Each structure stands twice: as structure tokens, then as C-alpha cells.
Amino acid sequence: MSSTVVQHGTASPDLPLDLSLDLPLDLAVNTDRLIRRIEELAWIGRGATGGITREGFSAADRQARSYLMDQAAAAGLVPSVDAAGNILIRRRRAPGAGHRKVLLMGSHLDTVVQAGRLDGAYGVLAALEVVQVVAESGLDPRHEPVAVAFANEEGALFPQPFWGSMVLAGRLADLPLEPLDHHGRPLREPLSLAGGDLGALGSAVWPAGSVAAYLELHVEQGPVLERSATPIGIVDVITGRAVLTVEVRGVAGHAGTTPMDGRRDAVAAAARVALAAESISREQGICRVTTVGQLDVHPNSPNTIADCVRLTADLRDTDAARMQHAEDAFRDALRQIAEQTGTAIDVVARTRSRPVPAAAALRTAIEASAQELGLPHQVLPSGAGHDAQVVADIAPIGMIFVPSIGGLSHVPEEDTKPEDLAAGAQVLLRTALRIAGTRAPRPCAPSQFPDPNRQ
Ligand code: HGY
Ligand code: MN
Ligand code: MN
């Protein structure tokens, strides 16, 4: 059984912050440009029913990567791809920038199957917008603002969620040496097509202390902010998550001639597993939520008793002890179901990420930014997992949420009001400037921006 346990430290010291930011409020993101990019990117991977499918390292994902890098280059910024396939976007080298700590901002471009257009993409494009505004403003921040699109956050095709952020944070030991997708195909080739290099992952690890802080702007993906009519969410803790891949093995047979007694029906046993997983949260309240979302049946034939089922059980809670209790209870249930049904049931893979608190200093900076912009805000946990909970190993992290209409996400109907998208990006910009610290604007290097008079 491969087991990816992603430990999460929060040993990041709080930051000195320029809470009394003296920047003019008119230094703002270009909302039209941000919304335009969101809408353009949303066409990549969109299917006939409007759902977007850009599984990590798929052809659609590569198309989205090219779009982002083209936008960055056209903005006069410098995109690059590391060995893990993460895209990093920097300002053209400012003198001395190479020796500065980095203020990292971003999210992910890859999606689940039949996703909406905002999960991940919004945070990446808002981070691009912030780096572009800082570059255009001529500000010379103490920490270098860098935008990142982490590779394979969802793990929809290659089941190593948080792949890119785990490499950046140095968690190489927690990753399989030869990652395979759900169909057993190796990652090596698709990763190199995306600009990465499986043999050089070490070069993509950032040394501890090189990242001053990491900020992620994201749609809430739940109902809390919409219900309270609050435009800005300040995340206090990101949920822990355990995803167990379970294999149920029975005996195949003819659906019509095999007596019910003595059957070892893998689907009937898998159904009990799914109900056991649901009961752990719904009836027993051991953890907050449990989901069996993926289920592959073999031979998957209507008149054959299945001999094998592979399913995933996703267990989540913001408390590590409850997470462990839920996983123990689930494993006990598997043993009992195997006995009752005469099948063999094993956990063949597991990825786990611990609950991670946001850094107090970053929560304060986000709050100060929302306040000065006159935006109502509230503190809430994140029920979704995010790259931020991995980056927390090497830097203080902060997350900003905006409301999801109907609390929907991971579905084509995912949506957020444009004014909320704009507000979230403004808060990201001002929080970034608070954290990066600002010095007197330096004159833009003439070569950096095309001189309109010379065109
Ligand atoms: O599943 C999640 O929580 C996130 O969307 N990766
Ligand atoms: Mn997601
Ligand atoms: Mn996401």
C-alpha cells in the first residue's frame, strides 16, 4: 500500500507587517482584465454541458498552462516552469530582487472532472494581476511578489493531490517515485510535456526561509459567506483530509445461475463500505464529512457478479484527533464487512493532509485590508483542502475567500458575483503590499514597458 502522509508544520514565525499601509487606495487591480482572463481561461477544457475538465497534466491542463504563460509574457512578466510542473511568474529582475524573500501568491489551474471555472483559476489569475499591478506601479517591495500555479492540486487523473506544492515544500519522500494515473499510466511523459522533469524534482524544492509568506485567494466552495451576505472570508484553519483507496475483491459469476447463498459479490460489499463511510460522519458524528466519490467496478457487466471494486473514501475534519478516530472506525468497518460478505477488502493507497491553521499575522493583514476597503468580513474554516496547507510547512500562510453562489463548487454551476471576485482581488493586492512591505516607487526601467510614444 502506498501511503502519502503530508505532515504540516505551522512553525512559521509571525511576520513584521506594514499594517499602516500608506499606499493610495487608488492603487487597485484591473478588474476588467481579471474578469476577462477568467472568462477566457474558462473556455479551455469546457465540455458540451458547460463543465470544465482540466485534469492535472492532461492536454487541457497543458492548454491552460500555455494560456497563463502567454498572458504573463504579454504583461511584461517572466513565466517559468519548475521540475514539478509548477508555473512561477515574476517581475523582470529588479536589481537585488534575487536576494529578497519571496511573497508567494497563487492557487492551481487543474480541475476536477466537470468542474466550474473559478476553483483554483481565480486565485492564479488574481495573483498574476497583483504581480502585474506591482510591476506597472514601479513599487519596489521588500519581498519579491511571485505568482504560482501549483501543478495537480486536485489529483483528478494522477491521484497525488497537492503534487506541485508538496514538491515546492520539499515533501519528496511523501511522493511515489514513479507516479501512475488512475489507469496505471506513468507521470514521467505528461510531466515533461508540461515542462517538468521527474528526475530533477529536487531542483524545484524551495529552501526553508526563502518564502516570506504565501497567500491564496479562493472561492469558498461552501454556503457560509453567501448565507451571512459577507463578501470577504478570512480562513482560520484548513481542513485535514484522508483519502483511502479501498479494493474489494470477490468472486465473479453468472448473475442468473449463481445462487444468492455463497455469493462473494464485490459490488454488494462495496455498497456496505460506502454506507459505513457515510455513517461515520452522518450518524456517528466522528468526523465532519465523509464521501465515497469514485467507484470502479470490474468487469462492470450488467449480468455478471462483480469480482472487484476500487473506491475512494474521503474523510475530513479540522481536528487531527477526530480525523484519526474516523480513519480507525472506517478500517474497523472494512474488517467487519469483509467477514460478513466473504470478500477481501484492503486499503491499497492513502493520502493524508493534516488540518493547518493560518498564520495570525496574515489573518491580521487580511482583516486590515478588508477594513480599509470597507468590506465586511468574517473568519471561517475551509472545508476544502488547498495547496496553502502544504506550503505551511515552509512559510506562514493566509487564505482569503469570496462567496460561492449557492455554496456550489466542483460542478459546472460554480459561480461568484463579479463584484465579489473584484473585492477579493483588491484584498489580495493590499494584503500582499502589507506583507511585502513597500519602498518609494522606483522609476520603471525604460526597457521594462513599451514606450507608447515610441510605437
Ligand atoms: O478536494 C478539495 O478539497 C480540493 O478541491 N482539492
Ligand atoms: Mn477543488
Ligand atoms: Mn481549489
- pLDDT (tens digit, 9 = 90+) per residue, 314-343? 999 999 999 999 999 999 999 999 999 999
Mean local confidence (pLDDT), 86-94:
90
Closest atom of ligand 1 to 162 CA is 6
What is residue 351's three-state secondary structure? Answer: strand
95 confidence band (pLDDT: 50, 70, 90): low
Cα→Cα distances 209→188, 197, 393, Å:
30, 24, 11
Sign of the CA dihedral running 163, 169, 175, 178: positive
Ligand closest to Cα of 383 equals 1
355 confidence band (pLDDT: 50, 70, 90): very high
Task: Assess if CATH 1.10.10.10 describes domain 240-353.
Answer: no
CA 429 – ligand 2 centroid, Å: 23
CA 346 – ligand 2 centroid, Å: 27
Q: Is the pLDDT of residue 7 over 90?
A: no
- Output helix, strand, coil percentages for the chain, rounded to the nearest 5: 35, 25, 40
Q: Which of 111, 386, 404 to mutate to test the pocket of ligand 1 (most atoms within 8 A of CB)?
A: 386
Ligand closest to Cα of 122 equals 3
Q: Which of 219, 221, 356 to mutate to test the pocket of ligand 1 (most atoms within 8 A of CB)?
A: 221
CA 399 – ligand 1 centroid, Å: 14
How does 92-129 read in b/e, with b if 16+ C-beta sit within 10 Å? Answer: eebeebeebbbbbbbbbbbbbeebbbbbbbbbbbbbbb
- pLDDT (tens digit, 9 = 90+) per residue, 9-55? 443 444 555 555 556 556 899 999 999 999 999 999 999 999 999 99
Closest atom of ligand 1 to 120 CA is 5
Ligand closest to Cα of 159 equals 1
How far the first Cα of the chain sits from its last, in Å, is 62
Q: Which of 6, 113, 154 to mutate to test the pocket of ligand 1 (most atoms within 8 A of CB)?
A: 154
Amino acid symbol at 390: V
CA 217 – ligand 3 centroid, Å: 10
- pLDDT (tens digit, 9 = 90+) per residue, 390-445? 999 999 999 999 999 999 999 999 999 999 999 999 999 999 999 987 654 544 44
Q: Is the pLDDT of residue 455 over 60?
A: no
CA 100 – ligand 1 centroid, Å: 32
State pTM to two decimals: 0.88
In three state form, how does the secondary structure of 372-407 look? HCCCCEEEEEECCCCCHHHHCCCCCEEEEEECCHHH
The answer to whether 368 touches 19, Cβ cutoff 8 Å, is yes
Closest atom of ligand 1 to 119 CA is 5
**Cα 213 from Cα 240, distance rounded (Å):** 21
Beta bridge mates, 144: 102
Start-end of CATH 3.40.630.10 domains in the chain: 8-238+356-439
Ligand closest to Cα of 411 equals 2
Closest atom of ligand 1 to 410 CA is 5
Q: Is the pLDDT of residue 141 over 60?
A: yes
Task: Assess if CATH 3.40.50.970 describes domain 8-238+356-439.
Answer: no
Start-end of CATH 3.30.70.360 domains in the chain: 240-353
CA 110 – ligand 3 centroid, Å: 9
Closest atom of ligand 1 to 154 CA is 6
How does 34-46 read in b/e, with b if 16+ C-beta sit within 10 Å? Answer: beebbeebbebbb
- pLDDT (tens digit, 9 = 90+) per residue, 269-278? 999 999 999 9
Q: Which of 109, 111, 112 to mutate to test the pocket of ligand 1 (most atoms within 8 A of CB)?
A: 112
Task: Identify the CA nearest to 158 among candidates 108, 112, 124.
Answer: 112
**Residues with a CB atom less than 6 Å from ligand 1:** 153-154, 161, 384-385
The answer to whether 220 touches 403, Cβ cutoff 8 Å, is yes
CA 113 – ligand 3 centroid, Å: 13
Q: Give the other-Cβ count within 10 Å of 208's Cβ.
A: 14
Ligand closest to Cα of 116 equals 2
CA 111 – ligand 2 centroid, Å: 6
